[in-house]
C-alpha cells in the first residue's frame, strides 16, 4: 500500500480511526441508558480527516500512518483511494485499527469524543524517517497529537530542516516538548487548547491576542487561534487580524470543523495563497463542513469553498 514515487504538495502525519457517531439530545450519566436519534459509522481521526480536507481542498496530499489488518483498516484504504490520497501506511498483524466514540447533540450539533488510536499508537520517529523524502519534497507538512509526540517532533524537525512550511495542530491538548514551538510556522489551537498551552483563558478576541503573544514568545511563527463561530485570529509579530467565520443556516455537526480548517489551510498555503487569504479559505471550508453530518465525509471540495467565499 506504500506509494514510493510521488511528490506531494501537502504531507500529513496522523492517525485514522473509524468514527462511531451517536446522536441524542444529551449525554447519558453514569449508569443511565437513553434513546438516541441516530447512528453513523465512517472514516475519521484528526490526521486522516485533515488529509481528506486537503485533498478535496485542491492539494496533492500524502498521509503517513499505521493501521491494523481489519475491516476498519480496509475502510481507511478505500477512503484514501477514492480521494486520491497518496498512502504511506504500514499495517499491523496484531494491533487493531483505531476507533472513536462520538456523541453529537442533535439540537446544537456540539460533540464529545473518545479516541482509541489502536495501531497508530505505535507510530514512531522511525516511521517519520522512513518517509523523509516525501516530507522533504512537500510544500507543507501538518501534524497533530493523536499519534505519539516523538513522531510529531521528528516530522516537524525534518520539515524545518528541508524548509517545508510546518503546521502544528496541538490537538488533543496533550503535553509536548517545548522545542516544538520553534518548529512551528503555524500553530492552530482552538480556545481550549490555547488556554491549556498558555494558561490564559480564551473567551474573547483580546484574550486570544494575549494567548497569541504567549505563543510567539515560545518561538511560534504565527498563531492561528480558532474561535468557533467567531472565526480565527491570525496573530504574528507583524499582523494581528480576526478573520470572521462564514454564516450558515443550520449547524448539523461540528466534529470535523477543526480538521476542515487545518487541511484547507495547508492546501491553500501549498498553492501559494497569501496567508490571510489562506485562513479565509480555511474558515469557509470549516463553515461548510458543520452543515453536514460526519467528519471526513463532510469536507467540502475546493470548488464549493471558493463559491461560498465568492458570495462574501
Catalytic residue numbers, as ranges: 259
Q: For residue 126, what is the DSSP state?
A: H
Instruction: Give the CA count within 13 Å in the CB-facing half-sphere of 272.
Output: 0
State the DSSP string of 102-124. Answer: EEEETTT--EEEEEEEEGGGG--
State the DSSP string of 49-99. Answer: HHHHHHHHTT--EEEEEEEESSHHHHHHHHHHHHHTPEEEEEEESSSPEEE
Q: Is the dihedral of CA 294, 297, 299, 305 positive or negative?
A: negative
Per-residue cell: 159: 520539515
Task: Write down the residue that cell numbers 502544528 correspond to.
Answer: 168
What length is written for the chain? 312
Give the separation between CA 176 and CA 194, rounded to whole angstroms: 14
Question: Chain-centre distance of CA 191, in angstroms?
Answer: 15
Dihedral of CA atoms 19, 22, 26, 30 in degrees, nearest 10, equals -80
Per-residue cell: 280: 479565509
Amino acid at each position: 500500500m506504500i506509494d514510493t514515487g510521488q511528490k506531494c504538495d501537502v504531507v500529513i502525519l496522523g492517525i485514522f480511526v473509524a468514527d462511531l457517531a451517536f446522536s441524542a439530545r444529551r449525554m447519558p450519566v453514569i449508569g443511565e441508558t437513553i434513546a438516541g436519534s441516530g447512528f453513523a459509522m465512517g472514516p475519521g481521526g484528526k490526521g486522516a480527516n485533515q488529509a481528506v480536507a486537503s485533498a478535496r481542498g485542491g492539494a496533492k496530499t500524502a498521509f503517513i500512518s499505521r493501521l491494523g489488518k481489519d475491516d476498519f483498516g480496509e475502510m481507511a484504504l478505500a477512503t484514501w483511494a477514492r480521494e486520491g490520497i497518496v498512502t504511506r501506511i504500514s499495517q499491523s498483524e496484531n494491533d487493531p485499527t483505531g476507533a472513536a466514540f462520538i456523541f453529537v447533540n442533535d439540537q446544537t450539533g456540539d460533540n464529545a469524543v473518545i479516541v482509541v488510536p489502536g495501531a497508530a499508537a505505535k507510530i514512531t520517529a522511525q516511521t517519520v524517517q522512513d518517509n523523509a523524502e516525501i516530507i522533504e519534497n512537500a510544500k507543507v507538512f501538518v501534524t497533530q497529537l493523536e499519534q505519539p509526540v516523538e513522531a510529531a517532533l521528528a516530522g516537524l524537525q525534518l520539515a524545518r530542516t528541508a524548509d517545508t512550511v510546518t503546521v502544528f495542530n496541538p490537538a488533543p491538548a496533550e503535553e509536548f516538548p517545548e522545542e516544538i514551538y520553534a518548529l512551528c510556522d503555524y500553530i492552530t489551537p482552538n480556545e481550549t487548547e490555547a488556554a491549556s498551552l498558555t494558561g490564559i483563558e480564551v473567551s474573547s478576541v483580546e484574550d486570544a491576542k494575549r494567548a497569541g503573544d504567549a505563543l510567539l514568545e515560545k518561538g511560534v511563527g504565527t498563531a492561528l487561534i480558532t474561535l468557533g463561530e467567531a472565526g480565527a485570529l491570525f496573530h504574528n509579530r507583524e499582523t494581528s487580524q480576526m478573520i470572521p467565520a462564514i454564516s450558515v443556516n443550520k449547524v448539523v455537526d461540528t466534529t470535523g470543523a477543526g480538521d476542515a480548517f487545518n487541511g484547507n489551510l495547508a492546501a491553500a498555503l501549498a498553492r501559494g495563497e497569501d496567508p490571510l487569504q489562506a485562513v479565509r479559505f480555511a474558515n469557509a471550508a470549516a463553515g461548510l463542513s458543520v452543515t453536514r453530518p460526519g467528519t471526513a465525509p463532510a469536507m467540502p471540495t475546493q470548488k464549493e469553498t471558493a463559491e461560498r467565499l465568492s458570495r462574501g
